[in-house]
Chains A and B, each alone.
Chain A
Amino acid sequence: MRIGIDVGGTNTDAVLMEGQRVLGWTKSPTTRDVSSGITNALTALLTETQVAPDAIAAVMLGTTHFTNAVVERRSLSRTAVVRIGLPATAALPPFVDWPDDLCRAIDGASYLVHGGFEFDGRPISALDDSEIRDVARQIRDAGISCVAISGVFSPVNPEQEKHVAEIVAAEVPGARISLSHEIGRIGLLERENAAVMNACLSELAGRIVQSFRDALAGLGIRAPFYISQNDGTLMSADFVARYPVLTFASGPTNSMRGAAFLSGLKDAVVVDIGGTTSDVGVLVNGFPREASVAVRIGGVRTNFRMPDVLSFGLGGGSHVRTDPLQVGPQSVGYEITSRALVFGGADLTATDIAVAAGLADVGDRDRVRHLDRAMVEAAVQHMREMVETSIDRMKTAAGDVPVVLVGGGIILLGDRLNGASAIHRPPEAPVANAIGAAIAQVGGEVDRVFSLDAVPREQALEQARAEASGRVLAEGAVPDSVEIVDVEEIPLAYLPGNATRIRVKAVGQLALD
């Protein structure tokens, strides 16, 4: 049996699963220290399902903790950046285009050294060990121990980043080092930014992972635990302590993966309606479609594997104004249980409309009987149109598509949506996030530029597939379960040799004892 946990801003959800079956689930408030909220949720779950802690084989956890630390500029460590690429890249040094307050919060230092590669693997200039050692000593003398290392074209050849890391590790005692090629893709600034964010979160990650570990140990759960990444795959707890940045935006991914599992669909539109906002995303072959443009997190440009999600202001707590009719984007949020009419409050919310229209049965129905019937109908239609418009924007081809509704706010919608070929409302929809975490697989990705004049296309693809599969096995996947889930080929303009960027992603089931 395994447990999935989703630590959200409002609620901590937990589910217990055996194979493909959901045995039980709970929702409890998220606490300030996170770990006691996890303890509360798990205690309730184990009590309700009457399962002994030692029957748990694995715990999978989704958390927004690290994203929020960057967004809120708290608990970030001082971080130094070493970029390998001189004489190139000097015009745009590290931290260029970062928000001032985040730079102050990180209070970092940046260094440029010689080295880096051309697109075809030739060196730009030779590495100089004494130059690198000198930089490492400056970092040590500045009292900084979190270090990000980036190199020009390191995704094509990571050797220089690794070499610089060895020198830094030798000179800076206790250094926590983040290498850009392990974190991001082609695009030096964006990849370096991700490495810097990773480095500045690495001390916090160590502490958080320990507190999760303590919470589980306190309940007698000795199973290994994993944390979900933004691409819907898992990393081990030790791995998270080294790569916290890969948890960014794992929330929408988990809810979409949970929706895929609960509906049994691999290709569908997922609508996750929360308390304040709704997210619409697209499942392609069981995984969220990824955004293709640079995504800013906390004001910093990144090129993460982020799900392509359209958010809009509709949720169970959305304020409803009647003249003229308007739903959201303001919301009573987590105060819905005291402020909505049906709960004895004074605010007309989307939930009140749903109850008045007979779509939902929560709170006290008598408190919304006085609402004008025509207004209620108009509001229901308006909410439905908000969802329909967003679905239509996100779908990839004309024609109706299956739609999966998840999240606590799906009571706002009836059983008909234009553009939907079928509507799925799984009973466990309120905890789709935690289920998404529980069923997450392990994954591996290759993203590289091949010259198709030098290597035939089929051979290049085969090489990329084999490497991606190898990475999945190294993560602990069951060998038979490994499959290629995404292959993307992008011909590159103005490059010789028919250069093509090939991205292959493979996933597999985690081997559980």
Chain B
Amino acid sequence: MWSVTPDDLESIAIGAGILGTGGGGNPYLGQQHMARLLNQGYRATVISLDEIADDALVTEVSGMGAPTVGVEKLPRGDEPRWAVEALEQFIGRPIEALVCAEVGGVNSITPLVAGALTGKPVLDADGMGRAFPELQMSTHFFNGVPCTPAALVDEKGNRIVFAHTVDAFTLERFARDLCVAMGCIAELAMPVMTGRQVKAHSVRNTLSLAKRIGDAVRAARATKAPVVDAVLAVTGGVALFSGKLVDVQRQTRGGFARGQLVAEGSGADRGTWLHIAFQNENLVAWRGSRHTPEEVLASVPDLICVVESDSGEPITTEQLRYGLRVTVLAVPCSDKLRTPQALAVVGPAAFGYPDVPYVPLPKQPGQGID
């Protein structure tokens, strides 16, 4: 059990940026909100999965909506508490702990805000061990946890509880339509899980992993040590490629920012090119020639992270632009994303790349993501 300090927040935000693999939203605003709550005397406590009783009830708290709206219509502040309360009211029992839906990006901080406001502990775990664009892409749902009841609230005080949907995909569709009606930003609490279920299905120790990544990055920056090496040491990842972005193309399809980038190699990678396809998050990385992707180097559900070569600063897919000097890292994902049920939802084929076979990145036991 640990109590989150402003210093921890700084590190978690950096680590969550790396684990966001290009998406997940910018944690800046959540970090500011949380820092303000800590300043006002609120406390957020993180506990490990071993510290929760098997029959205790747990829910995820996350933000839903468009990042571009999120930077304009800032939160009221009560939304995460209201979402949890709406769920408790519906089931008629108290929720005892909260958990991250996704540790990548802004949703790493959201449960901490909810935890501070409700006084409930936050589990050191999440449902992805990274970021994904849709809510059904979670280890909780691959393993049969029903996604409902689910509570969706907005800053005006509207509280909507979905009693039952036939599957997580349907909930995602309904919730997204409502979210648009709510002004494209809403707070979501779902599903209701038991302590036993999260112990079995959640990706473990990911909030502390985000913090450790952030700590390592900050220590490396302070001592002028190579930041990329520090990230690799904590995550058990590999550096795929170093070079310069020479082409970025974007299209919007179905409300998602899809696109491709091409980087031209430098140093040891001179003479080769890297291609990455993304849909909010980075999906597949190929080595190849200037115009043709050839050999697959990594793919979802493994993490493909693009960082600025010197600073190690993660670059989101919205920030990609010509001329950036980048290092591309690949980090082995959680084993819980490598099951057949999981790969059916988050493997390359599920994202529209049926010809890309998923070849798991080699993993050192006890290192990186659970």
Which residues of A pack against B, CB within 8 Å?
85-92, 96-97, 116, 118-119, 122, 124-125, 152-153, 186-189, 292-293, 393-398, 449, 490-496, 498-501
Please tell me if the beta carbons of B74 and A89 are within 8 angstroms of each other in the complex.
yes
Please name 7 further chain A to chain B contacts, defined as beta carbons within 8 Å, in addition to the given A91-B36, A92-B33, A186-B71, sorted by A numbering. A90-B77, A91-B33, A124-B183, A397-B246, A493-B255, A495-B68, A501-B68
Q: How far is the CB of A279 from chain B (nearest CB, A)?
A: 16
Interfacial chain A residues near B67, Cβ < 8 Å: 493-494
The 3 closest A-B pairs by CB, nearest first: A91-B77, A491-B252, A494-B66
Interface status of B363 (Cβ within 8 A of chain A): no
Q: How far is the CB of A394 from chain B (nearest CB, A)?
A: 6
Interfacial chain A residues near B319, Cβ < 8 Å: 292-293
Please tell me if the beta carbons of A396 and B322 are within 8 angstroms of each other in the complex.
yes
Q: How far is the CA of A153 from the CA of B321 in the complex (A)?
A: 26
Interface status of B102 (Cβ within 8 A of chain A): no
Please tell me if the beta carbons of B72 and A492 are within 8 angstroms of each other in the complex.
no
Name 17 interchain pairs, CB-CB below 8 A, sorted by A.
A87-B156, A87-B157, A91-B33, A91-B76, A92-B29, A92-B32, A124-B183, A125-B156, A152-B72, A398-B244, A449-B68, A491-B251, A494-B65, A494-B67, A494-B184, A495-B69, A498-B252
Interface status of B302 (Cβ within 8 A of chain A): no
Q: How far is the CA of A119 from the CA of B321 in the complex (A)?
A: 26
With contacts A91-B36, A92-B74 taken as known, whether A118 is within 8 angstroms of B183 at the C-beta atoms is yes
Most chain B CB within 10 A, of A86, A116, A119, A122, is at: A119
With contacts A91-B33, A124-B183, A492-B66 taken as known, whether A393 is within 8 angstroms of B73 at the C-beta atoms is no
Interface status of B215 (Cβ within 8 A of chain A): no
Contact with A along B155-191 (1 / 0, CB 8 A): 1110000000000000000001000100110000000
Interface residues of B in 48-92 (CB under 8 A from A): 65-69, 71-77
Interface residues of B in 226-273 (CB under 8 A from A): 244, 246, 250-252, 255-257, 264
Q: How far is the CA of A187 from the CA of B72 in the complex (A)?
A: 5
Q: How far is the CA of A54 from the CA of B76 in the complex (A)?
A: 58
* Chain A contact surface mostly: loop
Please tell me if the beta carbons of A88 and B246 are within 8 angstroms of each other in the complex.
no
Nearest opposing residue in chain B for A282, CB measure: B323
Interfacial chain B residues near A88, Cβ < 8 Å: 73-76, 155
Interfacial chain A residues near B322, Cβ < 8 Å: 396-397
Interface status of B280 (Cβ within 8 A of chain A): yes
Q: How far is the CA of A186 from the CA of B318 in the complex (A)?
A: 15
Please tell me if the beta carbons of A186 and B77 are within 8 angstroms of each other in the complex.
no
Q: How far is the CB of B282 from chain A (nearest CB, A)?
A: 14
Interface status of B325 (Cβ within 8 A of chain A): yes
Q: How far is the CB of B342 from chain A (nearest CB, A)?
A: 23
With contacts A119-B183, A494-B66 taken as known, whether A396 is within 8 angstroms of B323 at the C-beta atoms is yes
Please tell me if the beta carbons of B323 and A395 are within 8 angstroms of each other in the complex.
yes
Please tell me if the beta carbons of A152 and B252 are within 8 angstroms of each other in the complex.
no
Please tell me if the beta carbons of A118 and B73 are within 8 angstroms of each other in the complex.
yes
Nearest opposing residue in chain B for A501, CB measure: B68
Q: How far is the CB of A201 from chain B (nearest CB, A)?
A: 24
Q: In the complex, which range does the number of interface residues on chain B fall in?
A: 35 or more
Q: How far is the CB of A348 from chain B (nearest CB, A)?
A: 26
Q: How far is the CA of A393 from the CA of B324 in the complex (A)?
A: 7
Interfacial chain A residues near B256, Cβ < 8 Å: 493-494
Q: How far is the CB of B174 from chain A (nearest CB, A)?
A: 14
Interfacial chain A residues near B321, Cβ < 8 Å: 292
Q: How far is the CA of A421 from the CA of B115 in the complex (A)?
A: 58
Please tell me if the beta carbons of B246 and A188 are within 8 angstroms of each other in the complex.
no
With contacts A87-B156, A398-B246, A500-B252 taken as known, whether A119 is within 8 angstroms of B184 at the C-beta atoms is yes
Please tell me if the beta carbons of A393 and B325 are within 8 angstroms of each other in the complex.
yes
Interfacial chain A residues near B323, Cβ < 8 Å: 393-396
With contacts A493-B256, A495-B68, A498-B252 taken as known, whether A92 is within 8 angstroms of B36 at the C-beta atoms is yes
Nearest opposing residue in chain A for B251, CB measure: A491
Nearest opposing residue in chain B for A91, CB measure: B77
Nearest opposing residue in chain B for A308, CB measure: B323
Q: How far is the CA of A116 from the CA of B183 in the complex (A)?
A: 12
Q: How far is the CA of A396 from the CA of B323 in the complex (A)?
A: 5
Nearest opposing residue in chain A for B323, CB measure: A396
Q: How far is the CB of A496 from chain B (nearest CB, A)?
A: 5
Q: How far is the CB of A93 from chain B (nearest CB, A)?
A: 8
Most chain A CB within 10 A, of B250, B252, B325, is at: B252
Interfacial chain A residues near B255, Cβ < 8 Å: 493-496
Please tell me if the beta carbons of A492 and B183 are within 8 angstroms of each other in the complex.
no
Please tell me if the beta carbons of B74 and A496 are within 8 angstroms of each other in the complex.
no
Interfacial chain A residues near B184, Cβ < 8 Å: 118-119, 494-496
The one of B29, B32, B72, B251 that contacts A119, using a Cβ cutoff of 8 Å: B72
Interfacial chain B residues near A189, Cβ < 8 Å: 29, 71, 74
Interfacial chain A residues near B33, Cβ < 8 Å: 91-92
With contacts A119-B183, A293-B319 taken as known, whether A90 is within 8 angstroms of B68 at the C-beta atoms is no
Q: How far is the CA of A491 from the CA of B318 in the complex (A)?
A: 9
